[in-house]
Each structure stands twice: as structure tokens, then as C-alpha cells.
């Protein structure tokens, strides 16, 4: 079983998202390619950097200190686990300042596919909390 926030778990989430019909549909609805770098920074744990090109995740790796992204979130492992368990939605966590959003305007422009991937699809990939 994967561990929450492990590189292997995130790769499984990305692979599942790219097979998810809702994720594919949301990418099509954007009207422009989903091409960006997105970082999930988990406090007191590793940060993961995703590179999207035309809606496909083409690279996932552990982010190096200071490695830049177009947008991202900073979250505690507890809040991330609550999102993955379905206790909180990503939008709820962001609007209630349970996580820090970096590049908010860009995130809103790309919200549907990213929320689908990081909230809905992640819940289908078993992991140890």
C-alpha cells in the first residue's frame, strides 16, 4: 500500500486521473491547454512538483528546495489526509485558510481538472495515513 504524500502514491493518483472521464472532460472545457507546473508543499514532509502539458501529467518528482512552480498549495499532512479521506473539500480548505494557495487566480482558471485530480481521484487510491 502507498503512503500518503509518497511520490509513488502521487504517480498513481496522476495515472488514475488521466483515465478519469470527468478529469478529461474538465480539461477539454478549459478551452485552452492545461500546461503548467503545480507544487504540493506538505509542511514537515516532502513537496511534490507536477508538470502538466495539454492536461497530461508529463513529470512528477520530489521538488528541490526553492524549485519554482506556476501555482501550488502549502498544506499540513493532517489537512491533506482529511481532504483525501473526504472530510474536507479542497475548496472548503482553501476558503477557510486550512491551506495556503499560491497563484490563486491561475488556480481558479484551472480549478476543475485540478480539483478533480487532487480531491476526487486521490480518494480512490488507497494509502496509509
Whether 47 maps to a domain, the answer reads yes
Angle at 16 between CA 48 and CA 110, to 5 degrees: 60
Between 100 and 105, the more confident residue is: 100
Neighbour tally for 93: CB within 10 Å:
20
Question: What CA–CA distance (Å, rounded) separates 38 from 16?
Answer: 17
CA distance 34 to 97: 25
Tens of pLDDT, residues 34-58: 888 999 999 999 999 999 988 889 9
Is 8 within a domain?
yes
Structural domain range at position 19: 2-123
Q: CATH number for the domain including 46?
A: 3.30.1050.10
- The number of beta carbons lying within 10 Å of the beta carbon of residue 44 is 6
* Residue 129 included in any domain: no
Work out the percent of the chain whose per-residue pLDDT is above 70.
97
Q: Is residue 32 part of a domain?
A: yes
Can you give the pLDDT at residue 128? 96
Would 104 be classed as within a structural domain? yes
> For the chain, what is the domain count?
1
Amino acid at each position: 500500500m502507498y503512503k500518503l504524500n509518497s511520490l509513488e502514491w502521487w504517480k498513481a493518483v496522476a495515472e488514475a486521473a488521466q483515465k478519469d472521464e470527468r478529469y478529461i472532460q474538465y480539461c477539454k472545457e478549459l478551452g485552452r491547454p492545461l500546461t503548467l507546473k503545480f507544487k504540493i508543499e506538505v509542511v514537515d514532509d516532502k513537496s511534490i512538483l507536477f508538470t502538466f502539458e495539454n492536461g497530461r501529467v508529463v513529470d512528477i518528482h520530489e521538488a528541490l528546495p526553492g524549485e519554482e512552480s506556476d501555482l501550488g498549495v502549502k498544506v499540513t499532512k493532517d489537512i491533506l489526509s482529511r481532504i483525501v479521506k473526504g472530510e474536507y473539500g479542497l475548496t472548503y480548505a482553501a476558503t477557510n485558510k486550512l491551506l495556503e494557495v499560491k497563484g490563486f487566480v491561475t488556480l481558479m482558471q484551472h480549478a476543475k481538472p485540478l480539483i478533480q485530480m487532487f480531491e476526487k481521484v486521490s480518494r480512490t487510491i488507497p494509502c496509509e495515513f
